Structure 1
Amino acid sequence: MAISAGAASFFITNSIVVNMTAGLSVGLFVPVVDEIAQNWGNIRNLWYSVRYRNRSIRVSTSYLFKIYIDGKYLLIRGNRYRNQFQPVGGVHKVSPQGNATLSAMGVTDDDLIPLDAVSYGDLRVRVPGKRIFQFFQWFDSRQGREDSPWREFQEELLAINILPQTKFPHIMHNYLRREVDSIRFSEWAEEMEILVADIYELVPNQEQEDALRQLAAYGHPDIVWVSSQQIKRRGASSGQPQTIEISAHSRRIL
């Protein structure tokens, strides 16, 4: 009887110890996982800086507008690729102060897009691999670079009177998310590449909604209104001949 009691006590005690150990392990594990999740971008960039320290990495950062009215998305004809439509938006610009910071890192201009009045100051660059972490720390600080989507909205829709400037003296928008593609080899660039896109959503007032509906009703040769399915299919519609081409990166606004 004494042996049975002792055995029972042994198992109870060990069960308590096991449960306490398991509870402590879970209690420690969850905060660690949370910390990793919250800092995953930094961890990833730090790894890139080590893994690709002796290579040059092409980095292109942009912002895109989701303009959505009555179940349709507004897309605009591309400036460089006139046969395709894409979201309003473009590459971030860098200020002279930002250029000085990037030069100190050894960052150079990308040579795939001709440097002209349109592309001057674009944040489409070649970053020394060992500086990737430092580059994204600078990018996230928002110092010395464009931090508003207004410029491209104004240039692409208002300056050429696709939308009336009187109805859009200012705009309200929501910041939705940032998409950072995993590093990959780009056959086009013949280099490792990271693409970054900040996604914004236009929040029009009633007068601006009316102007957008009027644009949809009357049409414009440089504008299309498309469904999410058309965007996913790059412009194709079921049972109909394809009449437009939609850029691959348009999926980001869905």
Structure 2
Amino acid sequence: MITTLFTTIKPFLIKGANVAWENRNQLALYFKTKFWKYRNVDIRFSISGLYKIQIPGANKYLLVLNRRIENQLQPVGGAYKRYADDTLFNKWGYKPDNLKNGLDVDEKSSSDLRFMVNGKHCIEVLNWFDTGNERELDPKREFKEELLDTGILDSAIFQNFNHKRIRRFSKNLIWSDFFSCYEILIYDIFELIPNDAQKKYLVELSKQKNDLSKGFAIVDCDSIEQLRLIENGTQISRIGQHTKLIINKDF
């Protein structure tokens, strides 16, 4: 009888071991969302790419104003976009951001990777994201929209540029007081690799006095660590927490 029972459950044990191995880097998340209290809870995803744009020869960085959060500086970049239709996402119980559970959706943010799914589908979402299929792979679109289209950088000089991905940072199942839900946050950090002309332009830009009406600021490392930009003893802007990622800090 014992032999028969083992023979019956052996395929399930093997399958379970294979699933655990395939998801070994997310094992805790796998069990929490597949079998524990998060299984039937809506989880918000926010998946973004950010640019580290350092002023050559200085410990200073180019930040831009957030178009949704008033008076907040942050790195260039934002949520990746997906290119697929809703079929797969609907299978996961997909809900786009709205004013109640997120940042809402407008024409510019349509198809952003900011959404909710049922907890039991979190691993499927992460596996889909890791394939790189049917989604943006870098934040070059945001670079163009935030820096070239706005005239902050000269499009003739920065139309073509090189970058490299330097890290990925994630936080799983953290509670957000702002959104009143659990979140999974993923950030890919890319570093701009400027050529000689681009280096010269960035150095000249850094010599300008910060004027937030222009939509950007040159900010030193200490200000990023303190999450605020102070000039003449007065705070003129806050700095988003995720900005710490471009100086190799976590938040």
Residue 73 of structure 1 aligns to which amino acid in structure 2?
A: Y
| Structure whose residues are more often helix by fraction | 1
- Provide the residue aligned with 2:74 in structure 1: 86
Q: Which residue, 23, 29, 43 being the options, matches 1:57?
A: 43
Kept in 1, the 8 Å contact 2:29–2:172? The answer is no
Q: Displacement of 1:86 after TM fit?
A: 0.6
Kept in 2, the 8 Å contact 1:48–1:133? The answer is no
Aligned partners of 2:219 and 2:127: how far apart in 1? 37
Q: Displacement of 1:228 after TM fit?
A: 1.2
1:18-64 CA-to-partner distances (Å, cap 9, x unmatched) read xxxxxxxxxxxxxxxxxx99965331331232221111111111111
Q: Displacement of 1:106 after TM fit?
A: 2.1
Q: Residue 238 and residue 214 in structure 1: after superposition, are their counterparts in 2 closer, same or farther (change >3 A)?
A: closer
Correspondences of 1:69-218 after superposition (within 5 Å): 69=55, 70-97=58-85, 99-111=86-98, 112-218=102-208
Tell me, which stretches of 5 or more residues in structure 2 are unaligned? 1-19
- Provide the residue aligned with 1:16 in structure 2: none
Q: How many residues align?
A: 218
Kept in 2, the 8 Å contact 1:89–1:152? The answer is yes
Q: Displacement of 1:81 after TM fit?
A: 1.8
Tell me, which stretches of 5 or more residues in structure 1 are unaligned? 1-35
Q: Residue 193 and residue 239 in structure 1: after superposition, are their counterparts in 2 closer, same or farther (change >3 A)?
A: same
**SS of corresponding position for 1:183:** strand
Task: Give the TM-score taking structure 1 as reference length.
Answer: 0.79
Task: Give the TM-score taking structure 2 as reference length.
Answer: 0.80
The structure whose Rg is larger is 1
Q: Percent sequence identity over matched residues?
A: 33
Q: Output the aligned Cα RMSD.
A: 2.2
Aligned partners of 2:120 and 2:104: how far apart in 1? 26
Aligned partners of 1:135 and 1:243: how far apart in 2? 39
**SS of corresponding position for 2:207:** helix
Kept in 2, the 8 Å contact 1:75–1:85? The answer is yes
Q: Displacement of 1:80 after TM fit?
A: 1.0
